[in-house]
Amino acid sequence: MRRNQQASEDRERHLREIESANVQLEFAKQQAEKANTSKSQFLANMSHELLTPLNAILGYSELIKEELNGSQAPRVVLDDCNKILASGTHLLNLINEVLDLSKIEAGKMQISCEEFLINELVDSVIAIIEPLAEKNGNRIKVDYQTDLFVMMSDAVKVKQILMNLVSNANKFTRNGIVSIIISSVSENGVACLNFLVKDSGIGIEPDLLDRIFEPFEQADLSLTRQYQGTGLGLTITKHFCEMLGGTISIASSPGQGSSCSVNLPVHNTQSNKNNIAQMRQKLTS
């Protein structure tokens, strides 16, 4: 009898311990969610506060550069002005990445779909990246393997996806080739465009590939100083792909370069609410 009573008391004590642990876990979860929300709001607010003076710096630098062009000012002054513009533009890109991630985490990133010409979008990306590619001794090649030239999607986000991939490929490549291959594919019965960006750069160790989509991560921390950045580019790219109902994958070998493949629906509308809801659930889980 006493043995049964002892067993019953042990079970009750065990149940109380489990209940107490569940309460503590729920409290810790709520605190973590609150801290994450506060962090996102802080980053968003700080980004906005930084953008105002930074845009002023860039604007005045542009004016000074225009005044210096064709003047008798020493060449070193114009060079210094160009350095201010380059550094300011780099800082602006970093702030915008943080701001984008904050909007995504807060569920405030919206989709605005429209029809656009794929070749014009690709050309605009190349026009921006090409000077940087030349600086690294790289060539950018484009290969259209599709008859589709019109896409219905969020042009701004598609451009940002491609910009991030090509910029990343160029960043980790020296005196090589960055290829953009565009083809038609079908994914789960949905007509998609595949954007494949390949480079002949340094590559990534296979066991480090999973980390590159994590916020503020770079595959090899020892390269952070050499290849500057927030580590947000691929994180934002992955989220944008999911928002547009697409997928992204990457393959790489050390010393053999990398290839990043993105599939995006050819006809996308703002009715992709399920994809957005799923993405928000992933961020908050």
Q: Domains (ranges, CATH) in the chain?
A: 1-108 (1.10.287.130), 114-284 (3.30.565.10)
Count other C-beta atoms under 10 Å from residue 207's C-beta: 8
Helix (H, G, I), strand (E, B) or coil at 154: coil
CB 208 within 8 A of CB 252: no
Compute the distance between CA of residue 77 and CA of residue 29 in angstroms, rounded to an integer: 55
Length of the chain: 285
Residue 1 is predicted with a pLDDT of: 59
Residue 98 is predicted with a pLDDT of: 76
Residue 228 is predicted with a pLDDT of: 53
pLDDT mean for each 10 residues of the chain (285 residues): 70 80 78 66 70 85 86 84 82 79 76 93 90 91 93 93 92 94 92 96 82 64 51 84 93 92 87 44 45
Residue 226 is predicted with a pLDDT of: 52
